[in-house]
Copies of this chain bind each other. A is one copy, B any other.
Amino acid sequence: MPTRTAAQRREEAARAYDAFIAVCPTRQLVDRISDKWVTLVLCALGDGPKRYSDLSRRIAGVSQKMLTQTLRSLERDGLVVREVTPSVPVRVDYELTPLGTTLMPLIAAIKTWAETHMDEVATSREAYDAVAAR
């Protein structure tokens, strides 16, 4: 009889796998929200559908290339839907899918942590830099 049960060994293996193998789902999700604009786009879509031009206006500083690229990847991941109205000129709306919506509480949690603790981080940075400057 081993010192660890099969369940314990499985759990350890799963933890190791989940955390450190490149193909783990967590890694992929982190890569996803890592993108500079993904969070901002999801945030902008959080309170309802938006037109392409609305998004580009709301997310100041985004280039047309990056906005399109971000929207495409989100569409590919099934997090947003793209709806084209073939009028003249064309009208394109983007909307969160149900799956994309389930991601919003996560964004909210990140936001909450940030608003609660980022001042501590800022303080720590100043202290660190002050020492490094000497």
* Chain A interface residues toward B at CB < 8 A: 13-14, 16-22, 24-36, 39-40, 43-44, 58-61, 75-79, 99, 102-103, 106, 109-111, 113-115, 117-121, 123-125, 128-129
Contact = CB atoms under 8 A, between A and B. Distances in A.
A129 B73 CA distance: 11
Contact of A60 (B17, B58, B106): B17
A21 B120 CA distance: 17
A111 B26 contact: yes
B109 A13 contact: no
Contacts of A20: 40, 44, 58-61
Nearest to A22: B61
21 contacts: A14-B60, A16-B60, A16-B61, A18-B115, A19-B43, A20-B40, A20-B61, A25-B115, A25-B118, A26-B111, A28-B121, A29-B114, A30-B33, A30-B34, A31-B36, A33-B110, A78-B121, A79-B121, A102-B113, A102-B117, A106-B110
A61 to B, nearest CB: 3
B19 A40 contact: yes
Contacts of A44: 19-20
Contacts of A32: 121
A33 to B, nearest CB: 7
